[in-house]
Amino acid sequence: MKVCILGDNLTSLALAKALAKKEIFVDLFYRKKNTKIDTTRTIGISKSNINYFNKNISNIKGMMWPIKKIKIFTENSNNKEILKFEDSKDYLFSILQNQKIFNQLVIELKKNKFFKFKRDTKYNKLDNSAYDLLINCDIKNEMTKKFFSKKFEKKYNSVALTTVIEHKKLPFNNEAIQIFTNHGPLAFLPISKGKTSIVYSVRMKKYKTDLDINKIINKFNPKYEIKKIHKISKFELKSLNLREYYKDNLLAFGDLLHRLHPLAGQGFNMSIRDIKELLEIIDYKIKLGLSIDRSVCAEFQNNTKSKNFVFSEGINFIYEYFNSENKIRGDLIDKTARLIGRNKILNNYFKTIADMGL
């Protein structure tokens, strides 16, 4: 069996590593030289996905920073959390730096005899007939424009600002904090005792310069004695869900399938679940001696499309739910969220969904 993957992002590398680990030949085509990705970008990976990643893709235990508690505030909640999730015995999820995972996957793939990097700026050297399956993780190539342009899309008219703050070391820095400010959600995500990642999603009409985030960090800073704020990166925010996942034996994957608002940190988690589902389909067909062809794509779409859409819409609902407080100018949202938080069954249900998905 031979698979072709287009694009060299975090999802495509993780998928390539998972396939190569099963001794499936993989060619990964990329348009530019591999470069180090943004050092300020971090991702949260749920406990179940960490376990899967470590076992089936690459061991990332050494770069994990476990989060044991999540506190959620609004700007109008008078410094009292409206929701809290915690696990006294274990961690809820882990924060990792994108760059570190990316670099480790590149190094491991270069050593794997079942894998090859192939540079092709326009993918014009690609021979479709040479592969059982083609997986497109590149959101900007010609095949994307031709076959995967139809989608459900929501523009938030917001920009995400990301950075890392260095601060005085804390004995325990394992508490993530999300504050729904009047201009957008602000997250403090610890990555070590002395460093914390910042993600601020601000509406474009309120965003003027990168200096704004410095003021916001200092205004809502929950506990940190800040020594340095690193360079700020920014990207436009929107969510999308692709209408059709495949064309013949060409399967869309990763951010091309679905993109989420970063407030819940679920984007890469969805991609890991998709990798798990795809590999289970391939394993089953190989076990039965069946062909690896477009039927894999069809089965993958049938198994994941509706779940991914519902999950994505759930994240949109959370965003709109907290955003509505600014419109109604009251504390109804805070009171409702606190009632949900006090209900142990609902609290555990939301933790399970965040960890395992739907």
* Residue that is written with structure tokens 């249900």 in the block: 349
Rounded distance between C-alpha atoms, residue 295 and residue 148, angstroms: 18
Distance CA 236, CA 160 (A): 6
Can you give the residue ranges of every domain in the chain? 2-63+98-154+240-356
Tokens of residue 254, six digits: 């990763």
Closest to 183 in 3D by CA, of 211, 159, 154, 218: 159
Q: For 271-316, how does the pLDDT look when each residue is reduced to its tens digit (9 = 90+)? A: 999 999 999 999 999 999 998 899 999 999 999 999 999 888 888 8
- The CA distance from 315 to 260, in Å, is 7
**Half-sphere exposure (Cβ direction) of 222: Cα atoms closer than 13 Å:** 24
214: left (phi over 0), alpha (psi -120 to 50) or beta: alpha
Tens digit of pLDDT at every position of the chain (358 positions): 899 999 999 999 999 999 999 999 999 998 875 555 667 788 999 999 999 999 999 999 999 999 999 998 888 776 788 888 887 778 889 999 999 999 999 999 999 999 999 988 777 777 888 899 999 999 888 888 889 999 998 888 888 889 999 999 999 999 999 998 888 889 999 999 999 999 998 887 666 666 577 888 999 999 999 999 998 888 888 889 999 999 999 999 999 999 888 876 788 999 999 999 999 999 999 999 998 899 999 999 999 999 999 888 888 877 776 666 555 555 555 555 555 556 565 556 455 666 666 5
Token look-up 């031709």 returns: 146
CB 261 within 8 A of CB 316: yes
Q: How far apart are CA 136 and CA 253, in angstroms?
A: 6
- Read off the tokens for 151: 């989608």
Kindly give the pairing relationship between strand 195-203 and strand 115-119.
Answer: unpaired
Evaluate whether 48 touches 155 at the Cβ level (below 8 Å). Answer: no
Query: In terms of CATH, what superfamily is 2-63+98-154+240-356?
Result: FAD/NAD(P)-binding domain (3.50.50.60)
Q: Which of 149, 138, 130, 129 is nearest to 30 (CA)?
A: 138
